[in-house]
Structure 1
Amino acid sequence: MERIYASYWLETGDDPARAAEVIAGEQSSGTFVALPTETPELKQRSGARVERLEILGYSKEPSLPGGMRSERYTQCELEISWPLENLGPSLPNLMATIAGNLFELRQVSGLRLTGLRLPPAFARAYQGPAFGIAGTRRLTGIAHGPLIGTIIKPSIGLSVDETVQQVRELVAGGVDFIKDDELQVDGARCPFDERVRGVMRIINQHADRTGKKVMMAFNLTGDLDQMRRRHDLVLAEGGTCVMASLNSIGLIGLQELRRHSQLPIHAHRAGWGYLSRCPQLGWDYAPWQMLWRLAGADHMHVNGLRNKFSEPDDSVIAAARSVLSPVMPEAPLPAMPVFSSGQTGLQAADTYKAIGCTDLIHTAGGGIFGHPQGVAAGVSALREAWVAAIEGVPLEQYAERRPALQAALGFWK
């Protein structure tokens, strides 16, 4: 029988083995009292199993408020498995199973979902990314190296004409990828339809002149009908990418967008902090991103090294590696990691060294727009920083004969 396996970091003031069994029961056939209908046969068939429980250490105080009081709290690694037949290959019901009421149990003073293994039935049930790395490279014409990207800045407040002018400068400057900010969708000052038509006119004209079509990820986040209609407009205007905020549209929203979409889906993780920032609660990125790749995300945000947020570099690298790793042996479902947040060329060498490839989008907002010689120089400097990283040449040395990069080093630092 096929099974689903989930791993957790658990802290409990109860006996760890008893707490693990309570969690397994709560998330399958059990409840707070023994019931005559929960027969041994039913429990054997449908109950969750504690597969592994390893003690890591102890603390005197609970990591989270509420719940049972104890003189000592035990921290453990826990693995639980469920029979696939309990829920079938369903992502929404998987979410309720592996990340449902167990977080609220009084025996739990800390719980974090750290790993997930799914049976092949999920790959048969879900389409996964339609484009991924290979399709993104094909549409942009960038066969090798990272895609050099940016975000329209300021994130919100520009008119359509001001946005179009910014795009005009970016495509003339040689950028590969542009995205809306997650805050910019369809406000009165910059309506979606007008923005798409104005921006695509510039991108298409540039493509006609040069043969290079810049990928613009238009943020279509909304209800299902809105997203379908907005996607169709982008497609009709010659666009090559759409963007959605995952925590806003949910798994069903992404699944339905994937079914409808003929374009790559750029998946933004806005709100990830409330799922992950407390180390003793929530999710690790690796299991979380698996669900979205199954549902159809082509690009996944992973933050960036030395970012403006709270996430440490080792977590960022682990996130990027998880996006580049197969979802399961039977279904790799490759997606492209997106590095962003306070990025410049100074992070290029460390990023390349850490993940060992260039299958990524590196987006810099201020790192490009703030260049003292202008936007084109900002794009060139970021691209040159990546060439230096790939060739293993120190950045200062590589900049000696490259004025744009030389000028960038001063303001990046």
Structure 2
Amino acid sequence: MGRFSVTYWLGAADAAEARARALDLTVEQTVEIPRDIVPHGYVEDEILGRLEMLTPGTDARGGYLAEISYSDDDVGGDFVQLLNIVFGNSSIKTQTRVEGMTLSDAICDLCPGPKFGAPGLRERTGVPVGPILMSAIKPVGLSTAELADLAHQFALGGMNLIKDDHGLAGQPTSPHEERLKACVDAVAQANAKTGLASTYVPNITGPAVAIFDRAWMAREIGAGAVMLAPSLVGFDVARTLAADPDFDLPIISHPTFAGANVITPTTGFSHRFFFGLLQRLMGVDAAVYPNFGGRFGFSREECLSIAEGCSSDFGPLKPILPAPGGGMTLERIPEMQAAYGHDVVYLIGGALLRERADLVGACRRLVETVRQF
């Protein structure tokens, strides 16, 4: 029988406490009954989690790292159940954090991963090397015509990806389908003038009954990718869409509603796992997250760990592109290039919108600056 493994950080004073807590995880995440009444045979030998390794922690938190393996049989070909095994009831515990994961063949079959990944996204945007540039049309409250005009100007300025703000849904000022059609047309008109391949990325986040309809509508009308917020709509929504052989648009994830999963170092998930490995399991092609030095509190090290999680070996799953945003400015490009290198999407919104009087010119200056490195 195949097995996959999850690595947890455990806050413990010594090895004995860490071992006890790790063994508790093997039970809590699988059979959820007292260890002494676990049925002998198949349940004990196969379904019960196994503590494979316990080692001291290697960072300032101290503690211990526990690698625990789980049976593919327990997953049963169900992605939601996979997540339940990875960190179900134990997510409620303190001093317990998911750090990493290894895959089995069965998990790879269940999670084919990104359809496009970094290589496909580069092909779609026409940016074979160097950072891809993305911005957002906003704020909520603007009319469809005003938002489409912003999309047009961003495309004229050479932005590769032009996405909805995550707060744009179906408000009366700009209903979803109306905005989708207007922005696709606005970007296409700009591309006809520039010869570029700028792409409009609608936000398809919304009620459960509407998400897939919005995704297919985006494909039919001519959007180049879609964006959704997995922490709002459910992680399996992204995986289901990505795994559909007939859905051929890249997926960009947005981090709204995700913060509580990562912001403390002793609970939840590591930044690397949540914004890197988990996104790839879901089949996301680029993951937006808060950049260091901006208006959120992610550190440089945490952000670089996300980039590593997006690109490191993870079974057969394709690498994806990290998309740091929030407080990005033209002046910070050298700093960002030094940190991230070339395999990155820069999400720059407010800094460009501040230059509304010459938005096209501001975008072109950004493009010129980035291409210097």
What is the TM-score with the length of structure 2 in the denominator? 0.90
Which amino acid in 2 is paired with 1:353?
A: A
Corresponding residue SS for 1:188: coil
Q: What letter matches 1:43 in structure 2? A: E
Distance 1:31 1:196 in 2: 50
Counterpart CA distance in 2 for 1:351 and 1:321 is: 15
Aligned pair partner of 1:291 in 275, 278, 285? 278
Where does residue 192 of structure 1 map in the other structure? Answer: 176
Paired with 2:40 and 2:220, the residues of 1 have a C-alpha distance of 58
SS of match in other structure, 1:305: coil
Give the corresponding residue for 1:117: 102
Aligned to 2:64: 76
Distance 1:15 1:88, change over 3 A: same
Equivalence for 2:158: 174
2:255 aligned partner: 269
Is the CA contact (8 Å cut-off) linking 1:164 and 1:202 kept in structure 2?
yes
Deviations 1:1-31 (A, max 9, x none): 4221111111247833222222212222352
Is the partner of 1:112 in helix, strand or coil? strand
- String of CA shifts for 1:176-195, please: whole Å, max 9, x gaps: 22111111111111101111
Return the letter of the residue paired with 1:312: S
The Cα shift of 1:95 comes to 1.0
Unpaired runs of 5+ residues, structure 2, are none
Distance 1:104 1:171, change over 3 A: closer
Query: Aligned with 1:201: secondary structure?
Result: helix
**Residues 103-114 of structure 1 correspond to what in structure 2 (within 5 A)?**
103-104=91-92, 109-114=94-99
Aligned length: 367
**CA 1:52–1:369: 2 relative to 1, 3 Å:** same
Q: Deviations over 1:54-99 (max 9, x none)?
A: 3459x9xxx9xxxxxxxxxx83222211122222453211111120
Cross-structure match for 1:34 = 36
The separation in 2 between residues aligned to 1:199 and 1:28, in whole angstroms, is 47
Does residue 240 of structure 1 match 2:224? yes
CA contact (8 A) 1:206 1:213 kept: no
Amino acid at match of 2:369: A
Which is higher, the Rg of structure 1 or of structure 2? 1
Select 2:116's aligned residue among 131, 142, 153.
131
CA distance, structure 2, for counterparts of residue 277 and residue 17 of structure 1? 26
Provide the secondary structure at the position in 1 that maps to 2:95. Answer: strand
Partner Cα distance (1:33, 1:112) in 2: 22
Match of 1:24 among 23, 26, 39: 26
Q: Distance in 2 between matches of 1:41 and 1:266?
A: 41
Q: C-alpha distance in 2, partners of 1:225/1:372? A: 36
User: What is the CA-CA distance between 1:158 and the residue it aligns to?
Assistant: 0.9
The Cα shift of 1:225 comes to 4.0
The answer to whether residue 88 in structure 2 is matched with residue 100 in structure 1 is yes
Aligned residues: CA RMSD:
2.5
- Percent identity between matched residues is 23
Determine if the alignment matches structure 1 residue 387 to structure 2 residue 371: yes
Tell whether the 8 Å contact from 2:118 to 2:318 is kept in structure 1 after alignment. no
TM-score normalised to structure 1 length: 0.82
CA distance in 2, matches of 1:42, 1:294: 27
Flag the 1:198–1:177 CA change in 2: closer, same or farther, 3 A. Answer: same
**Map 1:180-329 → 2, pairs under 5 A:** 180-258=164-242, 259=244, 261-288=247-274, 289-328=276-315
Structure scoring higher RCO (CA < 8 A, sep ≥ 6) equals 2
Amino acid at match of 1:311: F
User: Cα deviations across residues 237-263 of structure 1 (Å, max 9, x unaligned)?
Assistant: 222111111111212211232225221
**Which residue does 1:376 correspond to in 2?**
360
In structure 2, distance between residues paired with 1:345 and 1:152: 18
SS at structure 2 position matched to 1:19 = helix
- 1:15 alignment partner in structure 2: 17
Letter in 2 for 1:84: D
